[in-house]
Amino acid sequence: MIIEIDFNSDEALYMQLRNQIIMGIATSQFHEGDSLPSVRQLADTIGINMHTVNKAYTVLKQEGYVKVDRRKGAVIALDVDRMRAVDELRKELQVILAKSSCKNISRQEVHELIDEIYEEYGGLN
């Protein structure tokens, strides 16, 4: 598992870690049932506080990407409620598209970007 954390970024470390794990799932680096490293192990590997890793794992659990098993630790479990995921995506896209509109980015450019990015994750048509 390769996690790249930018310590100079304005984005919180736990969110960077969360996002890296989600991208790992999307690109098939991680699969349903895979165990993530223990909080301590990942914190030592990346060089961050254990509480930061724990917070990222907690957010991933709340969002339905992982479950916590007493024996295995954090395990990839994609039982996300689809309707909730679509609703969250809609809210996030509203802000992104508003920003795009303010910067005069066309609908066609947005669609091209979406298609390009979605292809990277092996998205379905």
Phi, psi of 75, deg, nearest 5: -125, 135
Name the average pLDDT for the chain.
Answer: 90
Position with higher pLDDT, 9 vs 122: 9
0.85 exceeded by the pTM? no
- Between 118 and 108, the more confident residue is 108
What was the pLDDT predicted at 92? 94
Instruction: Provide the pLDDT for residue 14.
Output: 97
Using DSSP, state whether 78 is helix, strand or coil: coil
Average pLDDT for 81-99 = 86
Tell me if 33 sits within 8 A of 76, measured CB to CB.
Answer: yes
What local confidence, expressed as pLDDT, does residue 83 receive? 63
Report which of residues 1 and 30 the model is more confident about. 30
